[in-house]
Amino acid sequence: MSQEREAGRVVSMLGKQSLELKNPVFIKASASVVGSKEGQGPLGELFDMVGQDDMFGCDSWEEAESSLQKDAVYLAMGKAGLKKEEIRYLFAGDLLGQSIASSFGLAGYGIPLVGLYGACSTCGLSLSMGAMAIHAGYAEHVVCVTSSHFASAEKEFRYPLGYGNQRPLSATWTVTGSGAFVLSNSKEEKARARITGITTGRIMDYGLKDSMNMGPCMAPAACDTIYNHLRDFGRKPSDYDKIITGDLGSVGQHALLDLLREKEIDIAGQHMDCGIEIYDAKEQDTHAGGSGCGCSAVTLSAYILKKIEEGVWKRVLFVPTGALLSKTSFNEGQSVPGIAHGLVLETV
Amino acid sequence: MDEQIKQEYQEYVKEVTPTHNLWMQMGKAFLTGGIICVLGQVILNYSTNTLGLEKETASGWCSLLLILSSILLTGLNLYPSIVKFGGAGALVPITGFANSVAAPAIEFKKEGQVFGIGCKIFTIAGPVILFGIFTSWILGLVYWIYQSIGVA
């Protein structure tokens, strides 16, 4: 106890899976880089950089995704007014095998790297890890970055792009984009938001096997995380201006609201899904919505943090969701388990 | 976790998941497949009647031209849109097969001539080729047995 006081740091572990961050952890700056389709979407005006060509001047889709991460980190550090030498850790991840988009995109920075994989929930995972490091006093500034690319994800998980097939109405469209966030222990002049709580998710598996309908595969995980979060913090949905999931899409949103209603929690008034916001499903023919690590990351950077910064939303529960499958596990007949990580974001 | 809860959830998901209208899809597939077949017939008629080719030579040219146009349309990124509209109507004819070979070749070219194109060109068409050849072998065997015992 005396040691804790000496360091002036207090951690509150709440319930079984939550942390209340009492020491300051700020999102000092952030940046979003997206592809052309996202640029044409409803949030198009808000992104920092929109590529006209989804190859981003590279030779392959994988390299293009790497360049997304590289650019997002560069922009975020620039906005924070920090040099790469001042960043203690990078917390990064993507959807490709062995996270090559992060490895090749971030190699040039020479910043100590923690590589992460949480499927499409990686944005929440990296922010949680970054916030914990800052809160514990292990770093003054860290950068959290995640990315996804439509074409590299199709290649990794589905078919070659030129192959003709019919996507089911429940399928989601992988977002081409990368979001980077500079976390800091002091706000100095300005900060976009403060991270005040973390609820790390558990793997939930209801035995669904359809990789073309991932929303409902992840909805039980989002439900579990939101439910435990509210219980751990002793809060009600109305304590939040928004409860925002990552990429459940329209089918998953339906399932999440119903699952929570069974537990007698109604979040219909607060709920928003990044995957539903990022595209105009009718106009852009994306079916159930957007998905991928980039989906929640760029929406957080461009849209959610903007609303928090402006004070429109005072407190938000941000819950990126991930489907933990690989092409091999899918072909071997395994189910698609889900995971969701929660973060409480508040106005500074 | 309770198996029954899982089961109930799976049934619930089946209920709330939207699906394409089957009759509409069948109509579109009929139209698309029909157009491709009419195209084939036009080539066939032209080469036999006007160019005076043998029927077998003409059907060879017909397949070749359909495959060529499918591969060109794949290269121009137009074939996926045709399949999106026509579904199996565009996938089942020989043009769909050509698309399933050309698409991986384009996609995996970056991984090299041998390990990219060479290894992965048949990732989609592979099963059709393998089981197609296997089935024809079995049928051949059956035919041979029938002939040996003097049925056929």
Say which residues have a Cβ less than 8 Å from residue B22's Cβ, sequence separation at least 6.
none
Dump pLDDT digits (tens) for B53-96.
Answer: 999 999 999 999 999 999 999 999 999 999 999 999 999 999 99
Domains of chain A: 23-184 (3.40.47.40), 193-346 (3.40.47.40)
Q: How far apart are CA A68 and CA A106, in angstroms?
A: 10
Residue B26 forms part of a structural domain: yes
Residue B15 forms part of a structural domain: no
Check CB contact under 8 Å for A254 and B16. yes
User: What b/e string do you get for A20-41 counting C-beta neighbours within 10 Å, with b at 16 or more?
Assistant: bbeebbbbbbbbbbbbebbbeb
Check CB contact under 8 Å for A164 and B99. yes
* Alpha-helix runs per DSSP H in chain B: 3-16, 22-45, 55-75, 79-86, 88-91, 94-107, 119-120, 126-148
Residue B37 forms part of a structural domain: yes
Q: Which residue range is the domain that position B49 belongs to?
A: 20-121
Provide the number of structural domains found in chain B: 1
Check CB contact under 8 Å for B10 and A161. no
Taking CB atoms and an 8 Å cutoff, what residues of chain B touch A258? 12, 16
Computed on alpha carbons and rounded to an integer, the radius of gyration of chain B in Å comes to: 21
Q: Which residues of chain B have pLDDT under 50?
A: none
Check CB contact under 8 Å for B17 and A170. yes
Q: What is the mean pLDDT of chain B?
A: 94
Of all residues in chain A, the one with the smallest CA distance to B12 is: A255
Taking CB atoms and an 8 Å cutoff, what residues of chain B touch A170? 17-18
ipTM given for this complex? 0.88
Check CB contact under 8 Å for B17 and A165. no
Say which residues have a Cβ less than 8 Å from residue B19's Cβ, sequence separation at least 6.
A168, A169
Residue B145 forms part of a structural domain: no
Dump pLDDT digits (tens) for B56-65.
Answer: 999 999 999 9
Of all residues in chain B, the one with the smallest CA distance to A203 is: B1
Check CB contact under 8 Å for A162 and B80. yes
Q: What is the pTM of this model?
A: 0.93
| Of the candidates A260, A230, A263, the residue with the CA atom closest to the CA atom of residue A342 | A230
Residue B84 forms part of a structural domain: yes
Residue B83 is nearest to which of A59, A165, A220, comparing CB atoms? A165
Q: How far apart are CA A204 and CA A185, in angstroms?
A: 33
Q: Which of B16, B28, B82 is the mutation pick for testing A, counting most A CBs within 10 A? A: B16
Residue B28 forms part of a structural domain: yes
Q: How far is A196 from chain B (nearest CA, A)?
A: 32
The pLDDT profile of chain A, 348 residues, written as one tens digit per residue, is: 334 444 556 668 999 999 999 999 999 999 999 999 999 999 999 999 999 999 999 999 999 999 999 999 999 999 999 999 999 999 999 999 999 999 999 999 999 999 999 999 999 999 999 999 999 999 999 999 999 999 999 999 999 999 999 999 999 999 999 999 999 998 777 899 999 999 999 999 999 999 999 999 999 999 999 999 999 999 999 999 999 999 999 999 999 999 999 999 999 999 999 999 999 999 999 999 999 999 999 999 999 999 999 999 999 999 999 999 999 999 999 999 999 999 999 999
CB atoms within 10 A of CB A238: 10
Residue B85 forms part of a structural domain: yes
Residue type at A219 in one-letter notation: A
- Cβ(A181)–Cβ(A139) below 8 Å: no
Residue B56 forms part of a structural domain: yes
Residue B9 is nearest to which of A160, A165, A206, comparing CB atoms? A206
